[in-house]
């Protein structure tokens, strides 16, 4: 399983490299397309994806499928492979991938993105576990969110983001789950623009009785009294939480908020509505479990599982009962009271 964890980390870094390649110079050519109603998040009046989202997902899927062919048919992601009428895929070399991309963006931009997609990732994390219990790869599935907080990514690339928003809120989320039970077992959160372009990777394993987690940056600030919520949350719920003694903070990006809970930078993340999806929560869920926490539905406090049937309708993958995410069960019990 150590090898699988390393592959998921490598795949996340491939996606992160593609995201960073869009920021090497002022980019007025970041192709942005509005998602169709079937694929869009109902929370937004308009929901968008970029050419970087699609290429990052295809690159991560290819990395996983190349190393583990038995997983190839069980890797699912937020984005479909088509954008602007062009189907994006990784060809056998940089030149051919750039040819596909150049139908959508200028050749110089296409070559830079293709190079990032094909570049061998050289990333070494020193705290990865050496000995792990065996896991049945044939029982696994994978969820990918290639660039979470796309609106913040677009604003950041264009230099239009407010302070504390934009690129630092972007995350790459890759989580593995057991297809037999739906339980999340391995999670990787990659924050490509942490401290500029340095990046940060958080990982976790929760498989049967084995739990382990780590982070590539050890400078973590804990905050045990903050509850993270969306700016679109019901005001009466926000006020109720505040009156119970919690500090409420609104931040962009589901992955960003879940990462902060997983790191202990916030006590909980609460969503009462169905505005997050399986690709948002699978990776963080595994990490939360590795740290002794969990991610459950807001409405009836039931477990969230990830072995949902394949569907052409992305709303099938919605966490329709909302979510409560936490690392410390004591915080959760305090919240319930």
- In the residue annotation, 53 being an active-site residue is answered as yes
Question: Could you tell me where the DSSP H helices lie in 102-149?
Answer: 107-118
What's the helix, strand, coil split of the chain in %, to 5? 35, 20, 40
How high is the pLDDT of residue 187?
Answer: 98
How many degrees, rounded to 5, is the angle at CA 251 between CA 287 and CA 19? Answer: 70
C-alpha angle 84/42/297, rounded to 5°? 125
Whether 148 is catalytic: yes
Domains and CATH numbers, the chain: 226-336 (3.40.190.80)
pLDDT in tens, the chain (337 residues): 568 999 999 999 999 999 999 887 655 566 666 544 444 444 444 446 899 999 999 999 999 999 999 999 999 998 888 888 889 999 999 999 999 999 888 898 899 999 999 998 878 787 888 888 888 999 999 999 999 999 999 999 888 888 778 999 999 999 999 999 999 999 999 999 999 889 999 999 999 999 999 999 877 778 889 999 998 899 999 999 999 999 999 999 999 999 999 999 999 999 999 999 999 999 999 999 999 999 999 999 999 999 999 988 888 999 999 999 999 999 999 888 8
Neighbours of 59 (CB within 10 A): 26
pLDDT of residue 13: 97
Residue 50: its H or E element: strand 48-50
Contact 100, 120 (CB under 8 A): no
Catalytic residue among 280, 294, 324, 327: 280
Q: Is 312 known to be catalytic?
A: no
pLDDT number for residue 85: 87
CA distance 6 to 123: 9
Which of 18, 51, 135, 147 is catalytic? The answer is: 147
CA–CA dist 263, 215 (Å, integer): 9
Q: What per-residue confidence (pLDDT) applies to 124?
A: 74
Q: Closest Cα to residue 53, out of 119, 100, 113, 9?
A: 113
Report the pLDDT value the prediction gives residue 47, as an integer from 0 to 100.
45
Options 50, 150, 226, 327, the catalytic residue: 150
> Choosing from 148, 152, 233, 294, which is the catalytic residue?
148
Annotation says 150 is catalytic? yes
User: What angle in degrees, to the nearest 10, is found between the helix axes of 51-67 and 107-118?
Assistant: 30
pTM score > 0.85 for this model? yes
The whole-angstrom separation of Cα 197 and Cα 78 is: 24
Residue 145 annotated in active site: yes
259 is written with which tokens? 């990462």
Name the active-site residue from 13, 79, 111, 145.
145
No. of helices (H) and no. of strands (E), the chain: 9, 15
**Active-site residue flag, 122:** no
């Amino acid at each position: 399983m150590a090898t699988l964890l390393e592959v998921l980390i490598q795949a996340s870094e491939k996606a992160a490299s593609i995201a960073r390649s869009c920021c090497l110079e002022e980019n007025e050519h970041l192709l942005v397309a509005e998602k169709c109603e079937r694929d869009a998040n109902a929370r937004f009046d308009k929901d968008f994806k970029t050419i970087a989202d699609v290429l990052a997902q295809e690159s991560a899927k290819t990395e996983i499928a190349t190393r583990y062919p038995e997983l190839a048919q069980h890797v699912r992601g937020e984005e479909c492979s088509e954008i602007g009428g062009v189907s994006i895929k990784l060809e056998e070399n940089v030149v051919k991938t750039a040819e596909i991309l150049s139908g959508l963006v200028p050749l110089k931009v296409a070559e830079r993105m293709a190079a990032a997609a094909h570049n061998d990732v050289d990333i070494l994390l020193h705290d990865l576990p050496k000995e792990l219990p065996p896991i049945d790869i044939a029982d696994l599935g994978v969820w990918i969110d290639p660039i979470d907080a796309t609106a913040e990514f677009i604003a950041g690339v264009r230099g239009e983001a407010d302070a504390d928003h934009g690129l630092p809120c972007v995350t790459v989320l890759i989580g593995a789950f057991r297809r037999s039970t739906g339980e999340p077992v391995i999670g990787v959160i990659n924050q490509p623009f942490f401290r500029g372009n340095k990046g940060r990777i958080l990982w976790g394993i929760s498989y049967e009785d084995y739990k382990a987690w780590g982070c590539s940056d050890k400078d973590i600030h804990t905050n045990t009294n903050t509850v993270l919520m969306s700016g679109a949350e019901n005001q009466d719920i926000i006020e109720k939480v505040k009156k119970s003694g919690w500090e409420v903070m609104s931040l962009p990006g589901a992955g960003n908020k879940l990462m902060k809970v997983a790191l202990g930078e916030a006590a909980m993340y609460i969503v009462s509505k169905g505005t997050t999806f399986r690709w948002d929560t699978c990776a963080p869920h595994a990490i939360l479990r590795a740290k002794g926490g969990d991610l459950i539905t807001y409405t009836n406090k039931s477990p969230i599982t990830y072995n949902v049937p394949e569907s052409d309708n992305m709303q099938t993958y919605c966490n329709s009962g909302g979510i409560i995410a936490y690392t410390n069960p004591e915080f959760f019990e305090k919240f319930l009271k």
